[in-house]
Structure 1
Amino acid sequence: MRTTKFGAVALLLMCATPAFAEAKDKGAQDKEVWITIGTDAQEPARAAFRAQGQELPAPAREKDGVAALRVRESQLEKLAEAMHDKLNRCAGFISHDTEAQALAAVEGSTSAQPLQTLIAYTIDNGTTANSLMSGVLESNIRSTITSLSTTWTTRRYNLQSGIDAANWLKSRWTTLANGRTDVSVALFTHPSTVSPQPSVILTIQGTTLPNEVVVLGGHLDSINGSGSSYSAPGADDDASGVASLTEVIRVAMAKGYKPARTVKFMAYAAEEIGLRGSAAIASQHKSTGVNVVGVLQLDMTNYRGSSYDIVMVSDYTNAAQNTFVRNLITQYLPGVTATSTTCGYGCSDHASWHNQGYPASMPFEALMGQDNPYIHTSSDTLTQSAGSAQNSVKFAKLAAAYVAELAKGTTTIALQPTDADTGR
Structure 2
Amino acid sequence: MKRLIPFALFLLSPTAAFAGADDQELWISLGSDALEPVAEAFAKEGWAMPPASLAKGDVTVIPVRESQLESIAHVMHEKFNRCAGFVTYESLDAAEKALVPEPPQRIETLGPPLYTLTNATVANCLASTVAEPNVRGTINSMAAYTTRYYTSSTGVSAANWLRSHWASLASGRTDMAASLFTHAAWAQPSVVLTVTGTTYPTEVVVVGGHLDSTSSGSVAPGADDNASGIASFTDVIRAMVVCNYRPQRTIKFIGYAAEEVGLRGSKEIATYHRNNGINVVGVLQLDMTNYRGTSADIGIVTDYTNAAQNTFLRNLIAAYLPGVTHVNTTCGYACSDHASWTNAGFAASIPHEAVVSQGNPYIHTVNDTISRARPTAGMATHALKFSKLAGAYVAEMGK
TM norm structure 2: 0.91
SS for the counterpart of 2:191 is strand
AA partner of residue 348 (structure 1): S
SS for the counterpart of 1:49 is helix
- CA apart distance, 1:156: 1.1
- CA apart distance, 1:56: 2.0
Distance 2:72 2:282 in 1: 31
1:90 maps to 2:83: yes
SS for the counterpart of 1:107 is coil
- CA apart distance, 1:107: 2.8
Q: How many residues end up aligned between the 2 structures?
A: 375
Unmatched segments (≥5 aa) in structure 2: 1-18
In structure 2, relative to structure 1, the CA distance for the partners of 1:272 and 1:27 (3 Å cut) is: closer
Q: Which residue of 2 aligns with 1:65?
A: 58
SS for the counterpart of 1:400 is helix
- CA apart distance, 1:50: 2.8
In structure 2, relative to structure 1, the CA distance for the partners of 1:407 and 1:297 (3 Å cut) is: same
Q: Which residue of 1 aligns with 2:49?
A: 56
Q: Which residue of 1 aligns with 2:199?
A: 208
Q: Which residue of 2 aligns with 1:413?
A: none
1:172 maps to 2:165: yes
**TM-superposition CA deviations, 1:5-33 (whole Å, max 9, x none):** xxxxxxxxxxxxxxxxxxxxx97243321
- CA apart distance, 1:76: 1.5
Q: Which residue of 1 aligns with 2:134?
A: 140
SS for the counterpart of 2:99 is helix
- CA apart distance, 1:174: 0.7
- CA apart distance, 1:37: 0.7
**TM-superposition CA deviations, 1:302-342 (whole Å, max 9, x none):** 01111110001111110110010111111111211101111
In structure 2, relative to structure 1, the CA distance for the partners of 1:73 and 1:115 (3 Å cut) is: farther
Q: Which residue of 1 aligns with 2:154?
A: 161
Q: Which residue of 1 aligns with 2:296?
A: 308
SS for the counterpart of 2:367 is coil
Residue of structure 2 aligned with 1:274, choices 240, 262, 265: 262
Q: Which residue of 1 aligns with 2:7?
A: none
Distance 2:24 2:193 in 1: 34
- CA apart distance, 1:229: 2.1
Q: Which residue of 1 aligns with 2:175?
A: 182
SS for the counterpart of 2:356 is coil
- CA apart distance, 1:115: 4.4
AA partner of residue 142 (structure 1): R
Q: Tell me: higher relative CO, structure 1 or 2? Use CA pairs within 8 A at least 6 residues apart.
A: 1
1:113 maps to 2:104: yes
In structure 2, relative to structure 1, the CA distance for the partners of 1:161 and 1:29 (3 Å cut) is: closer
Q: Which residue of 1 aligns with 2:8?
A: none
**TM-superposition CA deviations, 1:49-91 (whole Å, max 9, x none):** 2344333222222112211121122221221112222222222
Does the 8 Å CA contact 1:310/1:363 hold for their aligned counterparts?
yes
Q: Which residue of 2 aligns with 1:345?
A: 333
**TM-superposition CA deviations, 1:164-195 (whole Å, max 9, x none):** 1111111111111113111111011111x2x2
AA partner of residue 368 (structure 2): D
AA partner of residue 231 (structure 2): A
Q: Percent identity at matched positions?
A: 56
In structure 2, relative to structure 1, the CA distance for the partners of 1:161 and 1:358 (3 Å cut) is: same
Distance 1:136 1:258 in 2: 17
Does the 8 Å CA contact 1:61/1:106 hold for their aligned counterparts?
no
Residue of structure 2 aligned with 1:239, choices 220, 227, 232: 227
Distance 2:332 2:217 in 1: 28
Distance 1:58 1:155 in 2: 31
Distance 1:51 1:27 in 2: 20
Q: Which residue of 2 aligns with 1:149?
A: 143
In structure 2, relative to structure 1, the CA distance for the partners of 1:112 and 1:306 (3 Å cut) is: farther
Unmatched segments (≥5 aa) in structure 1: 1-25, 409-424
Q: Which residue of 2 aligns with 1:122?
A: 116
Does the 8 Å CA contact 1:48/1:82 hold for their aligned counterparts?
yes
Q: How does 1:193-342 map to 2 (within 5 A)?
A: 193=185, 195-224=186-215, 228-342=216-330
Q: Which residue of 2 aligns with 1:99?
A: 92
Q: Which residue of 2 aligns with 1:368?
A: 356
Distance 2:188 2:47 in 1: 30
Q: Which residue of 2 aligns with 1:38?
A: 31
Aligned-pair Cα RMSD in Å: 1.5
- CA apart distance, 1:114: 3.8
